[in-house]
Structure 1
């Protein structure tokens, strides 16, 4: 498929999940988990399994800690999405992984702040779209 084709499939997966999260405030297991499995399989074929596993587990582990400490702040779908996003960004290098890990929280916080300034409610702001957007940007750069 090639790098461009893989990036296009990844972008489509991210778009699907982002739309789902914005509409329903849910990231479906039927999409997040198979996507993560495909990313890890591609990593294995491309001889990048180790960084993908480490990056995926580190990001998902961090998200899991937040979810366990404050379940209302971070959903289980975000934790599962972090597995695939952490894996794919880690394959691009530590800078891409770190940018994706930190950037998603920054973007969600900025969106929440902008909504508050506009007088809109922010009680259940989906985090998945920020995770996907920042991961795509980290890969593109």
Structure 2
């Protein structure tokens, strides 16, 4: 699969996830799980399987810990999405992974400060935006 097609598919996936999370305040399994599988399959075929799997597992584990200790702060959909976006950014190296992993909570915190009237802010769009931005730095 060409880089342009892969980037287009990834962007469509991240956009669909963001729109769904903003509208429904949840990330459905039918979007998170198959997307993560496709990302890992792409990484394996591109020769980046090991760093993708490590990135996905590391981000999944971190988000799972937050979800287990503070379920109101982190939804299960965010945990499942972390596997896919962690794999996507991990495929491009630790620096890209770290940029997205740190960027997502910073974006959500900033949005929370700006939109003080809302009790919660969906985290999925921040995860998707940070992933797209960090990945773009690696691809361009």
* TM-score, structure 2 as length reference: 0.96
Counterpart for residue 131 of structure 1: 127
1:15 shift after superposition: 0.4
Q: Which ranges of structure 1 fall in alignment gaps of 5 or more residues? A: none
Q: Distance in 2 between matches of 1:87 and 1:52?
A: 4
Q: Which ranges of structure 2 fall in alignment gaps of 5 or more residues? A: none
* TM-score, structure 1 as length reference: 0.95
Alignment of 1:66-105 (within 5 A): 66-105=66-105
Deviation by residue 1:92-135 (Cα, 9 ceiling, x = unmatched): 1111100000000000000000112xxx22x2210000000010
Give the one of 133, 136, 139 matched to 1:140: 136
1:5 shift after superposition: 1.1
- Secondary structure of the 2:37 match is helix
Cα RMSD after superposing both structures: 0.7
- Secondary structure of the 1:22 match is helix
1:138 shift after superposition: 0.2
Poorly superposed stretches of 4+, deviation over 6 Å: none
Counterpart for residue 7 of structure 1: 7
1:47 shift after superposition: 1.5
